[in-house]
Structure 1
């Protein structure tokens, strides 16, 4: 199985559905240590992405993800729009057609690089990076071992979910949550949680 245009579009539509379903949870997490708008911002952004994808269809999986990123940047406020927007644009730009597991791993790594460059975050800062970093590592490792795309995506999803859970005891060092200091400890980071959601939908989509 290769990552093609159909799979790319199915993944983005699955993210939109998952964000719709989990909006309240993302908002609850963000209300504890942020502005309380993470869920609503992502919901609005991916609704706009669906509208964009319903127009002239992008040609190639990279074009689908680039269009996703561009739309998120233009439609989503706060930190999540630029961060996820840059990430999807970077993944799209790095994705060849067709793309096997190793190529997808490197494209996802390019997305992580974009997030880190924009947000200046490192692992342990209690951000998106804490879920995206282990996801890329797991995807790369699985691909190098000869895993199929669904297998590599499942490994990445599980790693991202662990990474999100592991933000609970961390003190935030970046973003709005960092203003809380020690009071940010004990809360799961909403950005890491939505990142885990994105990787879970990738696994589910490739397995379908």
Structure 2
């Protein structure tokens, strides 16, 4: 299996940014139902800033993740900036400073990012947050890699699991974030954070598939 290099990681970020831009209105609409109606605009602004920062290419994955995390913390409002920023900032040291990441190291870095999100947001599966998409996604990724799947196939499985987790937030009652203020009224609405998180995983699957020609 091919390692993940800077080109693939930058393609991942560009693909995610494009997906967020395309789905901005959807993300905002979802957030309007249970939040501040700004998730789409905030994420679009943040990812545009991330892409602009790619012009000064960092020297290794750790530097790229750190730069991405700091950019998101500075440019994305609400809870999304600190949470997505923490995800990438926690990914940075998990790379061990390697110039390229083998599939297991990439998965390990993603897991470290998720652990950072959980620690920052104090959320767990079932709370109706981005954790509901990321946790099953990374579980599926680890399972597929351990069974010998290519990273492209493993990320496809992760993306499908993220989508399922995203969809599973609809009937939930929010226990964290702005949506939790609504109590039972938050049920029946898909979580915007889980929705953007599913886009993040799908973007990784697309970027790696393009690299592997799969």
Q: Which bracket does the TM-score occupy, shorter chain normalised?
A: over 0.9
Report if the CA contact (8 A) 1:8-1:65 is conserved.
Answer: no
Alpha-carbon distance in structure 2 between the residues aligned to 1:64 and 1:186: 37
* DSSP-derived class of the 1:98 partner: coil
**Separation of aligned partners in 1, 2:140 and 2:14:** 24
* Post-superposition offset of 1:51: 1.4
Match of 1:180 in 2: 182
Cα distance in 2, alignment partners of residues 91 and 142 from structure 1: 20
1:105 CA displacement: 1.2
User: What stretches of structure 2 of length at least 5 have no aligned partner?
Assistant: none
Q: Which runs of 4+ in 1 moved over 4 A?
A: none
Counting only pairs closer than 5 Å after superposition, residues 143-158 of structure 1 correspond to structure 2 as: 143-158=145-160
Q: Deviation at 1:102? A: 1.3
Bigger shift: residues 151-160 or 173-182? 151-160
Aligned residues between the structures: 207
Q: Find the counterpart in structure 1 of residue 74 from structure 2.
A: 74
Deviations 1:18-49 (A, max 9, x none): 11100000000000000000000000001111
Cα offsets for 1:122-149 (capped at 9, x unmatched) = 1000001000100110111111111111
Deviations along 1:155-177, one digit per CA (max 9) or x if unpaired, are 11111110000001100000000
Which SS does the other structure have where 2:23 is aligned? helix
1:76-155 correspondence runs (5 A): 76-95=76-95, 96-155=98-157
Residue 9 of structure 1 contacts residue 61 of structure 1 at CA under 8 Å; is this kept in 2?
Answer: no
Distance across 1 between alignment mates of 2:103 and 2:160: 16
Structure 1 gaps of 5+ residues are none
| Structure 2 Cα separation of the partners of residues 92 and 204 of structure 1 | 21
CA distance in 2, matches of 1:53, 1:195: 21
Alignment partners' CA distance in 1, 2:143 and 2:62 = 22
8 Å Cα contact 1:101/1:147 also seen in 2? no
Q: TM-score, normalised by structure 1?
A: 0.97
Structure-2-length-normalised TM-score:
0.94
